Structure 1
Amino acid sequence: MDEIHESLSFLSGDLIKKIEESSIIKKIPRGTEILREGQYVKVIPIVLDGLIKVFTRFSDKELLLYYIRPKESCIMSFASSLKNDPSRVFAITEEDSKVLLLPVEEVPLWIKKFPSINTLFYQQYNLRYSELLETINHVIFDKLDKRLFDYLTKKASLTGQNPLKISHRQIASELGTAREVISRVMKKLENEGLVIQHQNGIEIMIRL
């Protein structure tokens, strides 16, 4: 499985062999919920191709926390699985994805026997910590027009789409606000020449 070797090249050969023997690769269509809030984690995903978005929920509002890109994993799933706690987040594929699924019952054994696996999870902890701080800073300190524009440019960069085929309702859901608010702020960005709203998407008027 060359794609496993390519994505996990920093791990020892013996560990990669164990992963190949115990894990499965699954193709998951765009828009599939692969982890529910409150669900006990049975597998830890590593994205080989595609993109996954991870959310949290407060009351009736949802908030996008971070994206999982190729060669990355979901550290929240990892943490929940080690403690056997129900998941506090949920995850949805942003686009058609190919995912390596590690069985959680094997991971503690691998951690003891193959210390190189810690490299993977330390990297993910550092990455997600930085991204979560960035998300908190955006929510607390940035005005919504900046949050919205940063969100659009990041999504366009990650997906390679411009225009973005996305509704105001979906944007509102991912930013934890109301559709009417997004529509109003989107019009402000359009008046400033930062975006153009087409019938089939939102075009960002800068070079990504």
Structure 2
Amino acid sequence: MSQNELIKTKLSFLGTALLNNIVESSSVLSFEKDTELLREGQFVKVIPIVLEGLIKVFSRFEDKELLLYYIKPAESCVMSFSASLKNTPSQVFAVTEEKTTVILLPVSKVSTWVKQFPTFNQLFFEQYNIRYSELLKTINHLLFDKLDVRLYHYLVEKKEFTKKNPIKISHRQIANELGTAREVISRLIKKLEGEHKVKQHSNQIEIL
């Protein structure tokens, strides 16, 4: 499938006129896993829409990460969108979770498309709604769930997002994203394994 066909297939909901503008003005790039696309403090020059793959968006405090959300195909980054419109530095990091193909929308064009194409606004309004719902869900987990329950939900969501099972992930990465220590994660994964909810393989975790 050509790049133009991929764009029109994944983003058909934006409408022909806007898609033609996007194809003409934007670039499509592929990135390997663990590629940093955006860092905290960086000014946003392009806004990504994922065509294939997955991007992890997170904030960082000292040596701890806080996972904010994943950007899946046909989705974009609301934090990048907001920072670009305000011309303020990014408050987040964005890193590819797997090999990922994105279309990069130039910020100089985005401000025009926002005014010209209602479907473009709808894309980001929907993204804000999704992220707000995810935020409420995260707060609910933090307030009412024990860490082992949060860990299990995290692994299930990771499986759903990546469409892979087992998941190739280290205890340290999980600990960073859940804001705890690696030793705690190792202990809780053994607990989940004893409950027959997960199974550990070499550098992988299988959700049962």
Fold equivalence (TM over 0.5) = yes
Q: How many correspondences in the alignment?
A: 205
Separation in 2, partners of 1:106, 1:35: 19
TM-score by length of 1: 0.94
Deviation at 1:154, TM superposition (A): 1.0
Deviation at 1:85, TM superposition (A): 0.8
Of residues 28, 43, 51 in structure 1, which corresponds to 2:31?
28
Separation in 2, partners of 1:161, 1:15: 33
Deviation at 1:121, TM superposition (A): 0.9
Separation in 2, partners of 1:36, 1:59: 14
Aligned residue runs from structure 1 range 1-208, under 5 A: 1-205=4-208
Separation in 1, partners of 2:26, 2:48: 10
Instruction: Pick the structure with more helix per residue.
Output: 2
Deviation at 1:141, TM superposition (A): 2.1
1:65–1:135 CA contact under 8 A, matched in 2: no
The one-letter amino acid paired with 1:34 is: L
2:47–2:81 CA contact under 8 A, matched in 1: yes
Deviation at 1:174, TM superposition (A): 1.1
The one-letter amino acid paired with 1:56 is: S
The one-letter amino acid paired with 2:178 is: L
Most deviating of 4-13 and 89-98: 4-13
Separation in 1, partners of 2:87, 2:117: 21
Unaligned ranges ≥5, structure 1: none
Percent of pairs with identical residues: 64
Judging changes above 3 Å, is the alpha-carbon distance between structure 1 residues 163 and 11 closer, same or farther for their aligned structure 2 residues?
closer
Deviation at 1:57, TM superposition (A): 2.0
Judging changes above 3 Å, is the alpha-carbon distance between structure 1 residues 141 and 57 closer, same or farther for their aligned structure 2 residues?
farther
Separation in 2, partners of 1:201, 1:94: 15
Aligned-residue RMSD, C-alpha? 1.2
Q: Deviations over 1:19-72 (max 9, x none)?
A: 111100000101111110111111100000001111012343211111110000
Deviation at 1:163, TM superposition (A): 1.5
The one-letter amino acid paired with 2:76 is: S
Most deviating of 136-145 and 74-83: 136-145
TM-score by length of 2: 0.94
